[in-house]
Amino acid sequence: MAKTYHSSNRWALTGLFKRINLGDDPKLLQNEASHLAQKVDSDDIAAAQQALIDEGYPSKLVQKISAAFVLMGLRKDSADPTEVKLADNHILQKILTEHTLARCYLADLAEITEEIDLLDGLSDVSSEFRRLAHTIDYFYRFKRHIEREEDIIFPYLKKFGWEGLCRADEDEHKKILADINNLAVLVSSFRDFEFADFNGYLQKIAGHFILMMAEHMSYEEDLLWPIALVVIDNAETWETIKALSDDFEY
């Protein structure tokens, strides 16, 4: 019976490893990894690793996939993979700080759209509209944050074999940027709309954007950046990334 138990786990783990490498749905992968992590042991992981190697996967890639599985399987109530001591000037520290600020603006956006939804009308000189415009302007500038991730950090992750996870993040970035652009256009074209139409578009786009941004940042913090710290374990490489980021800012 024990042999069947382990064989079943190893078969499931091998399949999960392959899907991690392909960049399958991150949320689904993390749920399955969390479930499997409670059932497998070191022998199961070693067997799944060997199965991939036997199929022709490079051993270094297999080790990276295993690291991703371990990080995905960490339960939030027992360990937080983002609790890593980073230097104050580490590029990931800056990214995490920007995420914290973005969450503040997301809360502001949710509050403002709720207030506007209760109004019978709106003018472009009202406090509600000016606060809305200011908040959306912040997210329009947040696009630089996304560009920094894609242009500076992702190339290194892809170099180490993590194209799948980067591609999943880039796909979400496209949706986030589309919402940001739609919100910016909506505000700039305010006078072209009747209030009811403006408010309808605002509630729909902002509601989608707030939820997606929150989930996206959690995905990066819980999975992508911890993996980056595992696979890019050379301090000089991180210094190079930071130098490129500094040049990018200027």
Looking at residue 122, what DSSP letter applies? Answer: -
Q: Domain boundary at 29, 44, 73, which?
A: 73
- Tell me if 163 is assigned to some domain: yes
Most confident of 45-49, 79-83, 209-213: 209-213
pLDDT, tens digit (0-9, with 9 covering 90-100), for 124-158: 999 999 999 999 999 999 999 999 999 999 999 88
pLDDT value, residue 83: 52
pLDDT above 60: residue 4:
no
Tell me, yes or no, whether 134 lies in a domain: yes
CA 199/CA 122 separation, integer angstroms: 9
Note whether residue 195 is domain-resident: yes
**Which one is predicted more confidently, 227 or 7?**
227
Amino acid found at 1: M
pLDDT band at residue 116 under the 50/70/90 scheme: very high
**Structural tokens at position 147:** 């560009």
pLDDT beyond 90 at 185 = yes
pLDDT at site 250: 58
- Rounded Cα–Cα distance for residues 136 and 181 (Å): 9
pLDDT of res. 30? 80
Return the DSSP state at 236.
H
Using 50, 70 and 90 to split pLDDT, how confident is the model at 77? very low
Containing structural domain, residue 210: 91-249
Higher pLDDT pick, 103 / 21: 103
**CB distance 48 to 10 below 8 Å:** yes
In a shared domain, residues 40 and 128:
no
Instruction: Please state, for a pLDDT cut of 70, what percent of the chain lies above it.
Output: 92
Does residue 69 sit in the same domain as residue 172?
A: no
Q: What is the CATH number of the domain that holds 209?
A: 1.20.120.520
Q: Are 13 and 100 in a shared domain? A: no
Total domain count for the chain?
A: 2
Check whether residue 126 and residue 189 sit in a common domain.
Answer: yes
Question: Cα angle at 218 between 115 and 156, to 5 degrees?
Answer: 130
Q: Do 105 and 208 belong together in one domain? A: yes
Q: pLDDT value at position 74?
A: 60
Residues 41 and 128 in one domain: no
Helices (H), the chain: 2-22, 26-37, 42-54, 59-73, 91-117, 127-141, 143-148, 154-159, 163-188, 195-219, 225-231, 235-249
Q: Please, which pLDDT band fits residue 120 given cuts at 50, 70 and 90?
A: very high
- The reply to whether 157 and 234 lie within a common domain is yes
